Amino acid sequence: MKTELKTFIRSYVETALWSSTHSNAYCEGCGENLDCQVDDVINCPKCGSTEIVETSSNLDDAHFSDHVFTLDAMRKIVRDCKKFMNSHIYNETMESWCCGDIQSTIEQMAHDFWLTRNRHGAGFWDGDYPKALGEKLTEFSHAFGEVNIVPEDDMFHME
């Protein structure tokens, strides 16, 4: 189970970073990434330009490669992943749907858990699983509630 949990958590975190974005201000005058929200700045501190626009990047972008999850965020990730994997619905899925390659099934379920719980428009319900099973997994995932990853001070926080 430890190896399965590590696989699940790794895939869950990879999906979370891949599917999450961060918006910030960008100066079109000098090309400086201002690392704040557009509403927080009037003039670029580097060149004084007022040509400030909003940009968005995925959290798995190289810009965030030095970020790490806070201890609280990791605790929440581990707790939620363990709770999901210890559930009756997880075990039912592994017994009835596992496509032969257990690691790939675990990775796919972690991927779909993140997407479904956060209502990303894909996940357990989109046709990869038998309809009744996908509906059960979707309902169970929604019960966890949505979470967001917020980059701040070289750390990823979860809200």
Over residues 2-34, the pLDDT tens digits come to 899 999 999 999 999 999 877 777 788 888 777
How far CA 136 is from CA of 7, 124, 129, in Å, comes to 22, 9, 10
Write the pLDDT tens digit of every residue in 96-117: 776 667 888 899 999 999 999 9
pTM of the full structure: 0.80
The DSSP secondary structure of 5-53, one letter per residue, reads HHHHHHHHHHHHHHH-EEEEEEETTT--B--S-GGG-SS-TTT----EE
